[in-house]
Amino acid sequence: MDKLNRRDFLSSVGASGMAVGVLGRSVSAASASATIQPIAGSWFEFQHMATVEGVDWNPECACFTCSQWGLKVQEIAQVGMKYLVLMATALDYRSFFPTTIFPPWRLACPDPLEAALSAADKSGVKFFIGDGFYGDWRSPNIISDPVATRKRLQAIEQLTRLYGHHLSFYGWYWPNEAFINQYYSEKFIQYVNTCSRLARQLTPHAKILIAPYGTRVAVPDDKYVRQLEALDVDIIAYQDEVGVRKSTPEETPAFYEGLSKAHARAGRSAIWADVEIFQFEGAVYKSPILPAPFSRVLRQMEAVSPWVDKILVYQYQGMMNQPGSRAFCGRSASTALYTAYVDWLKTRHPGKA
């Protein structure tokens, strides 16, 4: 989902060659592959930042006990998802973990991050921890604001100290997402590299993920390749922007093909997909988001599968629920998407579910 202009703030295939991708996938061979990849993971959040969008699950998540947060992680793991990307450790100047940076959110579970990571340790799930939002997430100036920058770096240190012992603490996610307006802005590159510099010092084995939007307008030429070389990240999960009605599953293969070739040339970061499994009930960004029909989601997965190493989705929470879940959040239709996906998974990827 255009997660930060999955609102207002966050609002020509030029590369060529038969190169081998960063994780060893042949770009030329990929286009001939008919295999649809399963969903490898999902975004995860304690509260959705846009209240109108998350109206169907924010109240329920606020009432989750620590046990329920653990159950939700286990539920996600049971459908074969191995990666969770925590959107935020703070939001609207309140925190989701014990810190002096902001006062805490009033949640039924006093430390939902500890509950989620503890469950992930047992379930084999790998978490990317989101270092945001330490300022006004709606403002494009958050990435360069000196106060927000100081608080972000302070949070990296505190999160490492409090949660770095967890086996499931797999990596970091820098959630102030970029609009690739043909290319990345220099401010965004500086923001990413400043966060990554400290994270590499404190957690040298952690992977670093970003998830930009503007996938349809990215120009993966020589300049773009140089920017990929300059970005200190391990994984870039590009938003497919289908849920926010900027792209269609018929269009996205061309976008991801060009980006895949650019990544192969840069030889630095892996390419993943951030597939939007939601649809808006009404106007984009101004109405609740609901589960998309599985027929559309499957087309989205098929479209990107040849060109990416893994598929993540935005997001399991609110869009999918196991029938009878003791940590249910979202509308009843979310069980239909869950059931359709699990049925497909059992048929196409036995052993994953």
CB 200 within 8 A of CB 232: yes
Instruction: Calculate mean pLDDT across residues 13-28.
Output: 36
CB 15 within 8 A of CB 225: yes
**For residue range 206-222, what is the model confidence (pLDDT) as tens digits?**
999 999 999 999 999 99
Alpha-carbon distance of 156 to 296, in angstroms, equals 37
Token pair, residue 311, equals 């598929």
End-to-end alpha carbon distance in the chain: 25
- Percentage of the chain modeled with pLDDT above 90: 86
**For residue range 220-237, what is the model confidence (pLDDT) as tens digits?**
999 999 999 999 999 999
pLDDT value of residue 157? 98
Alpha-carbon distance of 132 to 148, in angstroms, equals 9
Pairing assessment for the beta strands 289-291 and 126-130 based on DSSP bridges: unpaired
Angle made by CA atoms 9, 15, 18, in degrees to the nearest 5: 135
pLDDT value of residue 174? 98
**What average pLDDT does the structure give for the chain?**
91
pLDDT value of residue 350? 81
pLDDT value of residue 349? 83
SS3 209: strand
- Percentage of the chain modeled with pLDDT above 70: 90
pLDDT value of residue 223? 98
pLDDT value of residue 34? 59
Alpha-carbon distance of 228 to 151, in angstroms, equals 26
pLDDT value of residue 325? 97
pLDDT value of residue 138? 87
pLDDT value of residue 31? 41
CB 273 within 8 A of CB 31: no
Residue 194: count of CB within 10 angstroms of its CB: 17
Confidence of residue 353 (pLDDT cuts 50, 70, 90): low
Alpha-carbon distance of 40 to 106, in angstroms, equals 31
pLDDT value of residue 21? 37
Instruction: Enumerate the β-bridge partners of residue 83.
Output: 41, 126
Q: What is the 3-state secondary structure (H, E, C) of 254-294?
A: HHHHHHHHHHHHHCCCEEEEEEECEEECCCCCCCCEEECCH
State the pTM of this model: 0.91
Q: What is the DSSP string of 238-256?
A: EE--TTTTS--TTTHHHHH
Token pair, residue 96, equals 């989701």
Instruction: Enumerate the β-bridge partners of residue 20.
Output: 26
Token pair, residue 60, equals 């329920």
CB 307 within 8 A of CB 257: yes
Structural domains of the chain ordered from first start:
29-208+290-348 (3.20.20.80)
Residues in Cβ contact with 50 at an 8 Å cutoff, skipping those fewer than 6 apart? 6, 7, 285
Alpha-carbon distance of 3 to 314, in angstroms, equals 9
pLDDT value of residue 29? 39
**For residue range 319-334, what is the model confidence (pLDDT) as tens digits?**
999 999 999 999 999 9
Alpha-carbon distance of 140 to 213, in angstroms, equals 14
